[in-house]
Chains A and B, each alone.
Chain A
Amino acid sequence: NAGVTQTPKFRILKIGQSMTLQCTQDMNHNYMYWYRQDPGMGLKLIYYSVGAGITDKGEVPNGYNVSRSTTEDFPLRLELAAPSQTSVYFCASSSDPPNYEQYFGPGTRLTVT
């Protein structure tokens, strides 16, 4: 069982470039999440999904887009990268309620210069 995997581990983008952060889970979880963690801070929710084809905004969705075409995959798209998007990005998944334990991927460190 790989759990939650994320690619890439590190990435440097130039301002205005776009990229997709990949996230895959093999636990057949319906719920998936994207968080960002700025230096010295807690995680903030960007987007989440409660199943294939269903996504919704979290606390900080501006500048990002998501899609969920399969149960396993939940990619995060950054359009027109800005320095404010420099952060560590975590993907997580959880099974259906009431067990809300979230399993996290190893994170992607993104720098926008």
Chain B
Amino acid sequence: AQTVTQSQPEMSVQEAETVTLSCTYDTSESDYYLFWYKQPPSRQMILVIRQEAYKQQNATENRFSVNFQKAAKSFSLKISDSQLGDAAMYFCAYNPGNTGKLIFGQGTTLQVKP
């Protein structure tokens, strides 16, 4: 079965510093998609970044970047220059690429300290 594991239930970072959230997944597929979603207290799910498995280059979106290690099945999210507005729950999600169904990890709650 395809699974997604986030081993850090909670993380904290000082404002303006960098933090990395971990995610590992299990699949036998070779082509798939990986996502990081942010869920602030408002509950709205917001897409942060997306990675296609066939692309070797790591995705980047402004202060957010990923470290995608396909052989190790690892997909970590790096947040640079952390801001108070980054405080939220972050979910890693896997999409096998045939139906669009997402499989989510358990989430990591990120606290940003001023």
A75 at the interface (CB under 8 A from B): no
Residues of B within 8 A of A43 (CB): 45, 91, 102, 104
Contact string against A for B residues 51-72, beta-carbon threshold 8 Å, 1 for contact and 0 otherwise: 0100000000000000000000
> Which residue in chain B gives the minimum CB-CB distance to A29?
B100
- The reply to whether A58 and B107 form a contact with Cβ atoms under 8 Å apart is no
Contact B107 A41 (CB under 8 A): yes
**Measured between alpha carbons, how far is A93 from B4 in the docked complex, in Å?**
21
Q: Which of A28-80 contact B (CB under 8 A)?
A: 31, 33, 35, 40-45, 48, 50, 56, 58-59
Q: Kindly provide the distance from the CB of A89 to the nearest chain B CB, expressed in whole angstroms.
A: 11
State the Cβ distance, B29 to closest chain A Cβ, in Å: 14
B100 x A88 contact (CB < 8 A): no
CA distance A107 to B33 in the complex (A): 24
> In the complex, A31 Cα to B91 Cα: how many Å?
21
B interface residue numbers (CB < 8 A to A):
4, 33, 35, 42-45, 47, 50, 52, 91, 93, 95, 97-107
> Which A residues form the contact surface with B (CB < 8 A)?
31, 33, 35, 40-45, 48, 50, 56, 58-59, 88, 90, 92, 94, 97-98, 100-102, 104, 106-107
User: Which one of B42, B47, B50, B100 contacts A31 once the chains associate, using CB atoms below 8 Å?
Assistant: B100
**Contacts between chains A and B (CB distance < 8 A), count:** 59
Interface of B is mostly: loop
How far in angstroms is the closest Cβ of chain B from A23? Answer: 14
Once A43-B91, A88-B43 are accepted as A-B contacts, the answer to whether A100 and B106 lie under 8 Å apart by CB is no
Name the residue on B nearest A102 (C-beta): B102
Task: Give the shortest distance, in Å, between B108 (CB) and chain A (any CB).
Answer: 10
With A43-B91, A100-B95 in contact, do A106 and B102 touch (Cβ < 8 Å)?
Answer: no
Residues of A within 8 A of B44 (CB): 104, 106-107
Contact residues in B for A94 (Cβ distance below 8 Å): 100
Residue of A nearest to B1 (CB): A59
Other-chain residue from A59, A90, A100, A106 in contact with B100 (beta carbon distance below 8 A): A100
